[in-house]
Amino acid sequence: MSITLALLLAAQVTAQADATPPDQATPVDSQAEAGRLGTAQQGGGDIVVTARRRVETVQTVPIAISVIGGQALAETGAYNVNRLTQLQPTLQFYSTNPRNSAANIRGLGAPFGLTNDGIEQGVGIYVDQVYYSRIASATFDFTDTERIEVLRGPQGTLYGKNTTAGAINVYTRAPSFTPEARIELTTGNLEFVQAKASVSGPLVSDKLALRLSASVTRRDGTIHNVVTGRNLNAQDNQSLRGQLLWKPTETLDLTLSGDFNNQNPDCCVQYYARVGATQRPTNRQYAALAAAQGYRVPSTDPFDRVTDVDTPLQAKQRLGGASLVGNLDLGAATITSVSAWRFWDWDPSNDRDFIGLPVTTVSANPSQQEQYSQELRIASNGKRRFDYVLGAFYFHQTIDTQGLQVQGRSASAFLLNPTSAGGRNPATLDGLTSRNTIGFKNTSAALFGKLTWHVTDRLQIAPGLRLNYDKKDGDYVSVVTNGTGTPLTADQRGVLAPQSYQPKFDNWNLSGDVTAAYEVADDIHAYATYARSYKSGGINLSGLPLDAANTPILSSATVKPEKVNHYELGLKTQFLDRRVTLNLAGFWTEISDYQATVTNGQLGVLRGYLANAGKVRTRGIEFDSAFRPTSRFSVYANGAYTDAKYVRFVDAPCPPELSGGTTAAAGQAASAPGTPGGISPQNCDISGQRLPGISKWAFSYGAQYSLPASVGDLQGSVYLGYDGSYRSTFSSNPSASAYTNINGYALSNFRLGFKADDGLNVFGWLRNAFDKKYFELLALQSGSTGLVVGQPGDPRTYGITVSKSF
């Protein structure tokens, strides 16, 4: 933290004598203005953003960007990253628990599957300019949020950490020198209770201001465990944030922030969704295995929302940190320093066999993560012939993980061939235990900058460069015991193999972009962008695949960097006296050495490992539109067509219908999909298939109508609002499978309320109004049994929210 203070105070002394008044609002004031405008009705007024590290209107920024104000977040119920996807068609978010969460933009960002700490995320998450290294550390409830900016496409020449797919910028409300307070209370079905409050004002003098905010969210689970009587996939979140703003002069401000978040819900469960035929012999597929154990799931209809998983579930996490952000206005430019420290402690318990049999009785990977970051940049003020942003960034992260996996008495039946002696004996795998000790150090440093040349009053050309260095060091040790103190058998090593390796990666790379923007008319702006970007290489920290002798394949310990070529054309327009906004963007992105999560033919593999696919391509068209025909009525519609495919991936994991049989010898043909006891290919060529998790079509849309009204002495307006979203069919498996396709679905949300002129807002809400039954994710039970498990989306919910600003 002392870096910020020393640099800015030193510069302040130098500049004090001849400092000139800035020709724009200070960064702190501009953020407050952006928040006020950002909550205005769509289709009217200018929305101010700082996406390019200077204050601009969203319509003049040559970037595909969407802005959601704090009021819109509250009224639509988008109180975390997951719920943003219903408002942003090109944003995808997948989560089986907080740690195993991934955010993608335009289908890119993180490989689909269980999280591997050894690689970077392609979508950067920033909260008040502080980079959050893992999407898991951003799975908190939005509290006292001013606005959220979602930037699409590579942003590495403007932001500290390289972001090859886009960035999500969360801005909280800044401390105010005018006393103010806000409170928001919500209650609903499923025993949902959420309370948010904030207070701000000056301290001691007019140079020091404080802001405190807090939130609590609790909700009963949506899935009932018939064994324990508990409702799973609940919510139990608490957060606290404090900010102290010191403004000793008109040109210098320093903001010290701290936050703490605690979550401890009964979460997270996936359970029986359906069964598909694999190439295992019939007596080794799920139906026969369950019958042989005398087992039946409570229901084969997943939307009965019942399960009997027999391992206690836990998704406990503590996360927080501190930051010091300083801005020094020199007149012609502003120097900004962002110093930050963050931590994330994860304490889980999972049921990774997904049923009520003791196949895997313990699956937990507690993890402790810590990061330090320092960003220093200078950005020009005002519109000049040449505008610029220059910056330096340093980041260091450590992760310590203690993994534990224990097999139970049913593991032998599910994971071993019954024709072998070991496969017939439940004791073979009962008590087989893997204790994993995983260490990781990640260091990154970068120089970045972007120059904007105003060739004419209407034409600007903006090139940018980034020099980046990444270094990763890992240590993976897996100690496997069978509980009897005897040497491991071949059957046991095939399920859980001892491993010890120390992967390393380091690399320099140079990337850049160039944007040409042209103001066709006062309210028509066009732009074209080319970016050459890189996503750092990584190391495997979830264990390595095994060869035929059940020995780890050490050549799989590292993965190469992704190389990105990105092209984009955009048009931003407003017309009919700015009552209509229509923005269009077309993009084409190609990635070589795409980092994918894959598996091998092991029956006992629970976690995938990382490998490089040859090449992927995503292309599409997006639109954002809003129309406000009168002051009482506004509508919006956003949409995206995304065509994302593997261009070349010749050695991919096979889908379940081609897995589980005898592995084909060289030159031997594979059996037809779903042939019991068939021949399975060693791997599959999925070139030309769609990337997982991505819908070709996605839309969000809505409207609001209001009428003047009074309630007693309160003057205000009554309003009716609707928000809808649609996603077409997408695959929930890295290799497309008929068993794991998630059908397209549409969701509808309504709200009816009264908004008073004095800041009171009372509204009732109905979400998933038509109780649509849909899956957020589908996954496979390990061992090619054919069991497909799912995570249903929330059912219909309803409630009431009361908020007041003072």
Q: What is the reported pLDDT for 410?
A: 93
| Residue 2: pLDDT over 70 | no
Look at residues 334, 466, 491, 480 and name the one whose alpha carbon lies nearest to residue 405: 480
| Residue 468: pLDDT over 90 | yes
What is the percent of the chain with per-residue pLDDT over 70, rounded to a whole number? 92
Q: What is the reported pLDDT for 666?
A: 81
Which amino acid makes up residue 739?
A: Y
Q: Read off the pLDDT of residues 678-708 as tens digits, 9 standing for 90 and up.
A: 999 888 899 999 999 899 999 999 999 999 9
Q: Read off the pLDDT of residues 149-207 as tens digits, 9 standing for 90 and up.
A: 999 998 888 888 888 889 899 999 999 999 999 999 999 999 999 999 999 999 988 89
423 in Cβ contact with 458 (< 8 Å): no
Query: Which of 55-69, 395-409, 497-511 shows the lowest per-residue confidence on average (mean pLDDT)?
Result: 55-69
Give the highest mean pLDDT range of 35-44, 85-94, 289-298: 289-298
Distance in angstroms (rounded) separating the CA atoms of residues 52 and 531: 16
Distance in angstroms (rounded) separating the CA atoms of residues 650 and 627: 47
Cis check: omega of the bond before 268, within 30 degrees of 0: yes
| Residue 534: pLDDT over 50 | yes
Whole-prediction pTM value? 0.89
Distance in angstroms (rounded) separating the CA atoms of residues 411 and 483: 15
| Residue 609: pLDDT over 70 | no
Which region, left, alpha or beta, applies to residue 396 given φ > 0 means left and ψ of -120 to 50 means alpha? beta
Other CB atoms within 10 A of residue 490 CB: 10
Distance in angstroms (rounded) separating the CA atoms of residues 694 and 774: 15
Distance in angstroms (rounded) separating the CA atoms of residues 737 and 277: 11
Six-digit token pair at 516?
């040409």
Residue 139: pLDDT band (50, 70, 90) is confident
φ and ψ of 784, to 5 deg: 55, 40
Q: Read off the pLDDT of residues 614-629 as tens digits, 9 standing for 90 and up.
A: 899 999 999 999 999 9
| Residue 13: pLDDT over 70 | no
Say whether domain 2-805 belongs to CATH 3.30.2350.10.
no
Distance in angstroms (rounded) separating the CA atoms of residues 369 and 374: 17
Six-digit token pair at 322?
């501190």
Distance in angstroms (rounded) separating the CA atoms of residues 48 and 43: 14
Residue 551: pLDDT band (50, 70, 90) is confident
Residue 114: pLDDT band (50, 70, 90) is low
| Residue 14: pLDDT over 70 | no
Q: Taking residues 318-346, report their average pLDDT.
A: 96
Distance in angstroms (rounded) separating the CA atoms of residues 92 and 347: 25
Q: What is the reported pLDDT for 322?
A: 97
Q: Taking residues 90-101, report their average pLDDT.
A: 84
Q: What is the reported pLDDT for 22?
A: 33
| Residue 50: pLDDT over 60 | yes
Q: Read off the pLDDT of residues 376-415 as tens digits, 9 standing for 90 and up.
A: 999 999 878 999 999 999 999 999 999 999 999 999 999 8
Look at residues 206, 202, 204, 200 and name the one whose alpha carbon lies nearest to residue 248: 206
Q: What is the reported pLDDT for 608?
A: 58
First to last CA, the chain: 33
Please, what is the average pLDDT of the chain? 88
Give the highest mean pLDDT range of 140-154, 389-403, 420-434: 389-403
Distance in angstroms (rounded) separating the CA atoms of residues 269 and 221: 10
* Percent helix, percent strand, percent coil in the chain, to nearest 5: 10, 55, 35
Distance in angstroms (rounded) separating the CA atoms of residues 799 and 806: 24
Distance in angstroms (rounded) separating the CA atoms of residues 577 and 583: 16
Look at residues 158, 163, 169, 152 and name the one whose alpha carbon lies nearest to residue 105: 152
Residue 642: pLDDT band (50, 70, 90) is very high
Distance in angstroms (rounded) separating the CA atoms of residues 160 and 600: 36
- Please count the CA atoms within 13 angstroms of the CA of 631 that sit on its side-chain side: 3
Q: Taking residues 763-781, report their average pLDDT.
A: 95
Which region, left, alpha or beta, applies to residue 286 given φ > 0 means left and ψ of -120 to 50 means alpha? alpha
Q: What is the reported pLDDT for 98?
A: 83
458 in Cβ contact with 527 (< 8 Å): no
117 in Cβ contact with 610 (< 8 Å): no
Which amino acid makes up residue 646?
A: Y
Distance in angstroms (rounded) separating the CA atoms of residues 278 and 392: 52
Distance in angstroms (rounded) separating the CA atoms of residues 366 and 260: 19
Distance in angstroms (rounded) separating the CA atoms of residues 358 and 657: 25
φ and ψ of 290, to 5 deg: -65, -40
Q: Read off the pLDDT of residues 204-236 as tens digits, 9 standing for 90 and up.
A: 888 999 999 999 999 999 999 999 999 999 999
Distance in angstroms (rounded) separating the CA atoms of residues 562 and 108: 11
Six-digit token pair at 423?
């496969």
Residue 81: pLDDT band (50, 70, 90) is confident
Rounded CA Rg of the chain: 27
| Residue 8: pLDDT over 70 | no
Q: What is the reported pLDDT for 10?
A: 45
| Residue 143: pLDDT over 80 | yes
Q: Which residue did the predictor score with more confidence, 351 or 87?
A: 351
Q: Taking residues 266-277, report their average pLDDT.
A: 95
Q: Taking residues 448-465, report their average pLDDT.
A: 95
Query: Which of 2-16, 255-269, 563-577, 759-773 shows the lowest per-residue confidence on average (mean pLDDT)?
Result: 2-16
Q: What is the reported pLDDT for 683?
A: 83
| Residue 118: pLDDT over 80 | yes
Distance in angstroms (rounded) separating the CA atoms of residues 553 and 560: 16
